Amino acid sequence: MGKPWQGTLEKIDDFHWRIPKDYKPGMRVPGIIYADEKLLKDIRNDESLEQVANVAFLPGIVNYSLGMPDIHWGYGFPIGGVAATDIEEGGVVSPGGVGFDINCGIRLVRTNFSFEEIKDKIQDLVTALFQDVPSGVGSKGEIRVSAKEERQILIKGSRWAVENGYGSEEDLVHTEENGEMQGADPDTVSDRAFERGKAQSGTLGSGNHFMEVQVIDEIFDADVSQRLNLFVGQVTLMIHSGSRGFGYQVCDDYIKKLMSALNKYNINIPDRQLVCAPVNSPEGKMYLSAMKCAANYAWANRQCLMYLARRVFEKVFSKSFQAMGMNLIYDVAHNIAKIEKHKVNGKEKLLCVHRKGATRAFGPGNPALPAEYKDIGQPVIIPGDMGRNSFLLLGTQKAMDETFGSTCHGAGRIKSRTQATKDYSAGELIKELKSKGIIVMASSRGTITEEAPGAYKDVNDVVNVVHEAGIARKVCRMRPVGVIKG
């Protein structure tokens, strides 16, 4: 690791820090970081704070360039970054502010099982999940679709999956955007993206993507937990995946396309990976449409993965998934750009909100929420590393006021993959995790070392900051018992 970041960071209070607007000429707004002293030590060790300052250059950006407590060094945008631009004021959309894995996201499924009931079957369950859910680099799925149908996936997202028997209407209601972002035109997607996306639907992928069998080990809000039918000792399932090769290619295509539009719109940015175009320009509109196609692809993918997982549970426990109470609590995107209304200086504005490694966290009463969540706020799902915890949170009014309805998305890396590979051995990690009651199966041993718990911040510290700062609140915490990795 290089020397700590030397830029200016002012303490506002225990959980808010500011990079002043005059830190770098060209910044249009200040940067605000959500962190405590402990997390800040790690955050300062990479270039992520400089990236928060760079994002503040984006034309039309309002209020602040935001960094969540799980922030780490990305390429262009930091991972854990939020930025909103005012569309009427020439605000831009940046493909780098969404990332290559468009709509990488996470879903949480409940079950009726208590861990005590099924603890002897966890090994069978994990083995069956590993066998039946296609994972690994470039994995190809069992759910094969024709080119014509692929276009339907891009337009309809999760709805395509449900119409084809891979889930229920209730699943759609419990997915951000109902898993079907409107305005996705497949004609804005290149043939190359179609080619890369072919045959990868219904696959988990590799890297930090996973499927986890978990157990709720702590409840923070008893009333909400009861409402959601969640209890201590209950088995849950978490799925983390994205738009696979399809999304990577969409992002790649549009970064190149928008690169040539920088001069046209007279845009100055400090890092080429921040290329952007006005939301209302032809280039901006085309990117957003292609991004929506990729987002829908990802939602269909997670819906198919959940279908495959439910089928495995049905096989292992000889019961229907309905009888096992395997309802989707919620599905959230954490790499996406959204057109949303928010108050800026007391006035309602139409903004393009970029969430790059950040989660939407709408507070109670928001019209985007399904009826049964309207009074409590949007469920927010925060995965941690495979050795520690994951969380279910709720969005808050404070998130609406401060962060354009956004919060953190995970633990955040502190060690590079190369460093993690040097520091850990797959065999020892598997043994160590087993001693903690966690079964891990992965397509590649390399993934296990790269994803070692020690390569991540403690998600408990990250969630503590968003909870204390009020930009999400804790409902319950899970611990993993079975992990499938790519």
Looking at residue 79, the DSSP 8-state letter turns out to be E
Residue at token pair 């990079």: 19
- Please identify, using beta-carbon distances, which residue of 302 and 479 lies nearer to another protein: 302
Closest CA to 459 of 443, 480, 442: 480
Backbone angles phi, psi at 315, to 5 degrees: -65, -45
Q: Are 389 and 217 in contact (CB under 8 A)?
A: yes
Q: Min. distance of Cβ 231 from another protein in angstroms?
A: 36
Identify the active-site residue in 72, 240, 409, 467.
Answer: 409
Q: Min. distance of Cβ 92 from another protein in angstroms?
A: 17
Q: Min. distance of Cβ 103 from another protein in angstroms?
A: 14
Q: Min. distance of Cβ 133 from another protein in angstroms?
A: 16
Q: Min. distance of Cβ 434 from another protein in angstroms?
A: 23
- Please identify, using beta-carbon distances, which residue of 196 and 467 lies nearer to another protein: 196
Give, in degrees to the nearest 5, the angle at Cα 225 between 466 and 113. 120
Separation of alpha carbons 207 and 447, rounded Å: 6
Q: The dihedral of CA 51, 56, 59, 61: what is its sign? A: positive
> Does the active-site annotation cover 409?
yes
Q: The dihedral of CA 15, 65, 454, 481: what is its sign? A: positive
Looking at residue 280, the DSSP 8-state letter turns out to be T
Q: Name every residue whose Cβ is closer than 8 Å to that of residue 371 and which is 6 or more positions away in sequence.
A: none
Amino acid at 1: M
- Please identify, using beta-carbon distances, which residue of 50 and 176 lies nearer to another protein: 50
As given in the structure block, the two tokens for residue 273 are 């990976």
**Can you give the binding site for another protein, defined by CB under 8 A?**
1-2, 46, 48, 72-76, 79, 99-101, 136-138, 192, 195-196, 198, 205-207, 245, 248-249, 251-252, 255, 259, 271-273, 275, 413-419, 444, 446, 486
User: Which contiguous run of DSSP H or E holds residue 462?
Assistant: helix 459-469
- Please identify, using beta-carbon distances, which residue of 33 and 275 lies nearer to another protein: 275
- Please identify, using beta-carbon distances, which residue of 3 and 347 lies nearer to another protein: 3
Q: The dihedral of CA 172, 176, 182, 188: what is its sign? A: negative
Amino acid at 331: D
Q: The dihedral of CA 414, 420, 422, 428: what is its sign? A: positive
- Please identify, using beta-carbon distances, which residue of 196 and 479 lies nearer to another protein: 196
As given in the structure block, the two tokens for residue 214 are 């978990």
Backbone angles phi, psi at 3, to 5 degrees: -75, 155
- Please identify, using beta-carbon distances, which residue of 89 and 461 lies nearer to another protein: 461
Residue 272, CA atoms < 13 Å, CB-side half-sphere:
7
Q: Are 473 and 382 in contact (CB under 8 A)?
A: no
- Please identify, using beta-carbon distances, which residue of 3 and 148 lies nearer to another protein: 3
- Please identify, using beta-carbon distances, which residue of 24 and 319 lies nearer to another protein: 24
Q: Min. distance of Cβ 68 from another protein in angstroms?
A: 14
Closest CA to 406 of 339, 350, 340, 471: 471
Strands 105-114, 328-333: pairing kind = antiparallel
Q: Are 91 and 60 in contact (CB under 8 A)?
A: yes
Q: Min. distance of Cβ 348 from another protein in angstroms?
A: 35
Closest CA to 410 of 450, 430, 382: 382
Q: The dihedral of CA 384, 119, 445, 101: what is its sign? A: negative
Q: Min. distance of Cβ 373 from another protein in angstroms?
A: 31
The catalytic site residues sit at 409
